[in-house]
Structure 1
């Protein structure tokens, strides 16, 4: 009557740990530092090229904290209004290695 498929057997098909692992944390910190390094390189190149500036680079420096300035809570979790404590692990976000999630609402 019923075909024994993976979904019908009752097990979770996608198993994600509730906690981010230490190697994942290290790679996340490394990614954040690499982005900071790229922005610094672009800014230095613009300054070297006749003292030019870019609105995007200036806005980045004003709005985005550097990796060493960020709280661990902001490095490894993301604001989600559907969660119980309004936070969930960044590794549960789809494509979390590609998007910048540095700024979260204050107080959460």
Structure 2
């Protein structure tokens, strides 16, 4: 009865998860992440030179730049629920939109 038409079984429905997440970031994903961090640093440098000061801008200027960040902080974020308290940046939803340059002490 359901063999034909819109309700027929498809490969993803039979197999399971369609989008599989790799367990580590590829070289190109890491490169893109570094470029995004450098772009943010460029914007902050421009704002620093232009003059207007706000509380949020002052807080953002205290964050480390891409060159000052260790690789551990560039590509992973703190996660309470993960085994080593770290989770790959690519597994975080909307990881390009969050400021994850600082983590809790010791992690």
Q: TM-score range by the shorter chain?
A: 0.7 to 0.9
Query: Match of 1:72?
Result: 71
2-structure distance, mates of 1:19, 1:27: 14
Deviations 1:38-77 (A, max 9, x none): 011011011xxxxx53333222222x11111111000000
Query: Match of 2:41?
Result: 36
Query: Match of 1:18?
Result: 23
**Runs (4+) of structure 1 moved beyond 6 Å?**
none
Larger deviation, residues 81-90 vs 96-105? 96-105
Matched residues, number: 101
Gaps of 5+ in 1: 47-51
Give 1:103 shift.
Answer: 1.1
2-structure distance, mates of 1:58, 1:81: 28
Look up the SS of the partner of 1:69 in the other structure.
Answer: coil
CA RMSD across the alignment:
1.9
2-structure distance, mates of 1:15, 1:41: 39
Query: Match of 1:58?
Result: 58
TM-score (norm 1): 0.82
